[in-house]
Structure 1
Amino acid sequence: MKVVVLGAGVVGVTSAWYLARAGHQVTVLERQAAAGLETSFANGGQISVSHAEPWANPHAPLRALAWMRREDAPLLFRLRWDACLLDWSLRFLRECTARRTRANMRDIVALALYSRCQLQALRAETSLDYDHLERGILHIYTDRREFTVASAAAAVMRGFGCDRQTVSVDECLAIEPALAAVRQRLVGGDYTIDDESGDAHRFTQQLAARCAANGVVFRYAAKIDRLLAAGGRIAGALVGGELHQADAYVVALGSYTPLLLRPLGLRLPIYPAKGYSATVALGAQSIAPSVSLTDDGHKIVFSRLGQRLRIAGTAEFNGYNTELNSIRCDALMRRTRELFPDLRPAAEAEFWCGLRPATPSNVPLIGRSPISNLYLNTGHGTLGWTMACGSGAALADIVSGRKPEPPFRFL
């Protein structure tokens, strides 16, 4: 079939790769000048099956209220009239029960495990070089109550197949010696040895080049004006007066997916969660982590990307605002200095922010929409890089009329 993929972020490009591998004729439409220039550009860098606990959990409502007036809060809801955010927030609260949290965690782990395996197979086939490391992910805790809650979540994940093991302070330091300066502040951690890290931007651009070499057509600087529907099907994608027609259409536009589909009567429970990152160049004397870390209490991750350290995290619900907030940028670096006082950067940090497409449950929307030839691959929240290969492979199966492998609630 002829398939048009809308979006060339990591999810769109992996979708194109697996669709082409399945024998389809694929065209990718992307408004930017190249692949991976928006949410995939400077994310946290983690392939983190271990990060499967949804934001919506029994502890979330009280935490969100406590953080409401803090400009540097890990999770910040901007108080303003926004009907879409109000609807999303009510759905979020419904997902905060223990039963729903467990069901959502099961789905997230299932897709993330499958995706990590698909990434490893793709890497073995293509030898892509994206500063990847296979040293696991270590979650660290400086608050005993947070550690207790996390230990319970880790036990649930182990039941679903994610090998997230609770570890002592001594074991944390053995895994990542760069934490030695804050030994007295740590209360414990948990470690997932099979998790990975790597530069999603480099991966996306290199895979896009491989796709193009294998016949996938990329149309960059192609802003999609609208989708035309007729007879219960999509008749084409209109781009600057030019109509792109295909047998099937895959929407992988992240946070912008609801805006494109709303005129078609499709209202998706996706809201942009703005995340921040800082990229720090490291010098010869830098004492920096080489194992990817998650500071759960502050919702910040650290990933070593060659001679750079990527520091990323937090979530700000502020519509489609993409302006950098200096207070939130400073919060990233303040926590970094607390944990790694001997970091000794080689240059000033480079800050970035991007809009992550969050569903209330953190479970992405993948599969066929109510419009027969329109498919979705979106809503991955903070786990777009983690789930990209699995989502793309499963989506290609669905478009091809096959049943996807992972036990996940596909549309």
Structure 2
Amino acid sequence: MKVLILGSGVIGVTAAYYLAQQGHEVEVIDRQPAPAMETSFGNAGEVSPGYSSPWAGPGVPIKAIKWLLMHFGPLVIRPKVDMAMLKWVTQMLTNCTSARYAINKKRMVPIAEYSRDCIKQLRADIGIEYDERALGTLQLFRTQSQVDHTGGDIEVLQQFGVPYEVLDPEGCIRAEPALANVRGKFKGGLRLPGDETGDCKMFTERLAEHARKLGVKFRFDTTIKGIATQAGKIAGVDTSAGLLKADIYVAALGSYTPLIVKPLGLNVPVFPIKGYSITVPITDASGAPESTVMDETYKVAITRLGDRIRVGGTAEIAGYDLELRTGRRATLEHSVTDLFPKGGDVSKASFWCGLRPMTPDGPPIIGKTRYDNLYLSTGHGTLGWTMACGSGRVLADTISGRKPEIDISELNLTRYG
């Protein structure tokens, strides 16, 4: 079959690779001039199944108020008259219960764990390199209160069989030796040794090259104008390059997916949550992180990517706004210079932002729509890099009529009614 994929981020490119591997004729279209130019461009670099949790959970509304009042807070809300924003926030708040959290977490962990297995298999099969490291993630607690409240997180990790280590300050330093320079600034940590790191943009670009070798065609600088239907099916995609037709269509446009499919009568509850990152050149390798350190206080991930430090985080609820705001950069710079003062030169850092496609409940949306030949793969939120390979593989299996190796029946659009 011919498959047309809308979007060349990490989600679209992984789907293209696996579909081509299974013998399909695949074309990918994107408005950008190259793959991974939007949300996949500068994310935090974590492949972290252990942190695959919904944002919506018990206590989050109270925490959100605290975050909004912090000087270097991880959350910013820029209110506007936006019914989509209001509806999404309302839906998220309804998921902030223990019962809903348990259901949503149960839906997220399998695809994240499977995805990590898929990326390992890709490394073995095609030797893809992307500044990857398999040295785990350290969640760093600056206060004793944070240490004392890890019980719930540990219980969830135990429930899903995720390996973990509870560390005292000296244990944190053994995992991340550069923290010895700021020994008095943290009280302990929770380490997830099974997590990995890597440059998502580099991975996506290199996987796209492998996909080309399998026959995938990439059509860049191509704007999508609309989607045509006929007799209850997708008949083609109207683009700046004309009407493009296929047997199967996959919408993998991240935060822009709802806008493209809304004229089809499909209400996809995905909303853009802006995240920021800085990429800092390393000046002293011994003073830089070995893998990822998650600064729990500021919700900032500090990740080693080759000769760079990627510092990513913050959540800004502002709609489709891509303005780079210096206040958000200040939060990232504060976190990295406070914990790794000798690691890199922040004055030479590049500054970036991207729109994370978030669902109100947490799990992504993967699977067929009510149009038999239209599939979705979107809503991965902060976990697009973590879940990309697994999402691409299960989608390819589904389209090919194969039974996926994990159950994705609760990840499709029908869970919203």
Instruction: Provide TM-score, normalisation by structure 1.
Output: 0.97
Q: Quote the residue 2:219 is aligned against.
A: 219
Superposed, 1:306-325 pairs within 5 Å as: 306-325=306-325
Q: Tell me the equivalent position of 1:62.
A: 62
User: Which ranges in structure 2 are unaligned for 5 or more consecutive residues?
Assistant: 413-417
Amino acid at match of 2:327: I
Gaps of 5+ in 1: none
Q: Which amino acid aligns with 2:74?
A: P
Aligned partners of 1:95, 1:144: CA distance in 2, in Å?
Answer: 28
Displacement of 1:150: 3.4
Residue 358 of structure 1 corresponds to which residue in structure 2? Answer: 358
Amino acid at match of 1:86: L
Offset, 1:259? 0.5
Structure 1 residue 107 displacement after superposition: 1.6
Alpha carbons of structure 1 residues 111 and 388: separation in structure 2 relative to 1, 3 Å: same
* Aligned equivalents of 1:110, 1:166: Cα separation in 2: 23
Distance 1:346 1:333, change over 3 A: closer
Identity %: 43
Which letter does structure 2 place at the counterpart of 1:35?
P
Rounded Cα–Cα distance in structure 1 between residues aligned with 2:309 and 2:124:
25
**Equivalent position SS for 2:287:** coil
User: What amino acid is the match of 2:112?
Assistant: A
Aligned to 2:122: 122
**Cα distance change, pair 285–139 in 1 and its aligned pair in 2 (3 A):** closer
CA separation of 1:262 and 1:285: change in aligned 2, threshold 3 A: closer
Residue 366 of structure 2 aligns to which amino acid in structure 1? I
Q: Does 393-402 or 346-355 show the bigger shift?
A: 346-355
Instruction: Render the CA deviation track for 1:340-386: whole Å, top value 9, x for unaligned.
Output: 22224286111100001000111000000111110000000000000
Cα deviation code 1:78-117 (max 9, x no counterpart): 2222100110011101111011111211221111100000
Which amino acid counterpart does residue 94 of structure 1 have in structure 2?
A: T
Q: Distance in 1 between matches of 2:285 and 2:365?
A: 45
Matched with 2:265 is 265
171-180 or 155-164, which deviates more:
155-164
Question: Corresponding residue for 2:293?
Answer: 293
Q: Contact 1:44–1:301 at 8 Å: present in 2 too?
A: yes
| 2:382 is aligned with 1:382 | yes
Query: 2:358 and 2:76 mapped to 1: Cα distance?
Result: 14
Task: Return 286-295 or 388-397, whichever deviates more.
Answer: 286-295
The residue correspondences of 1:10-409 to structure 2 (distance < 5 A) are 10-68=10-68, 72-240=72-240, 242-284=242-284, 287-345=287-345, 348-408=348-408, 409=410
Deviations 1:253-273 (A, max 9, x none): 000000101111111110001
Using the alignment, how far apart are the partners of 1:63 and 1:284 within structure 2? 36
Change (3 A) 1:150 1:207: same
The alignment partner of 1:403 has SS state of coil
Structure 2 counterpart of 1:146, one-letter code: Q
Residues 46 and 198, structure 1, Cα contact 8 Å, conserved in 2: yes
Instruction: For 2:204 and 2:312, locate their aligned partners in 1 and report how far apart those are by CA, in whole Å.
Output: 19
- d(CA) in 2 for partners of 1:116 and 1:341? 31
Aligned to 1:189, what secondary structure does the other structure show? strand
Q: Deviations over 1:233-276 (max 9, x none)?
A: 10001112611111110010000000101111111110001000
Q: Matches of 1:343 and 1:410 in 2, distance apart?
A: 41
Q: Are 1:4 and 2:10 matched, yes or no?
A: no
* 1:19-41 deviation digits (Å, cap 9, x = unpaired): 11111110001110000111001
Q: Which amino acid aligns with 1:30?
A: D
| Aligned-pair CA distance for 1:286 | 5.8
SS of the aligned residue for 1:235 comes to: strand
Aligned pair count reads 411
Provide Cα deviations, 1:116-138, integer angstroms capped at 9, x if missing partner: 00000011111112100111111
- Any conservation in 2 of the 1:105–1:157 contact (CA below 8 Å)? no
AA aligned opposite 1:189: G
Rounded to whole Å, the distance in 2 between the matches of 1:254 and 1:101 is 23
Secondary structure class of the residue paired with 1:38: coil
**TM-superposition CA deviations, 1:275-332 (whole Å, max 9, x none):** 0000001124661111211112211101111110000011101000001000110110
Question: Is this contact kept in 2: 1:113–1:162, CA < 8 A?
Answer: no
Distance 1:46 1:289 in 2: 13
User: 2:189, 2:90 → 1: CA distance?
Assistant: 32
* Backbone CA RMSD of aligned residues: 1.5
CA contact (8 A) 1:36 1:204 kept: yes
Mapped contact 2:222–2:241 kept (Cα < 8 A): no
In structure 2, how many angstroms separate the alpha carbons of the residues matched to 1:191 and 1:234? Answer: 46
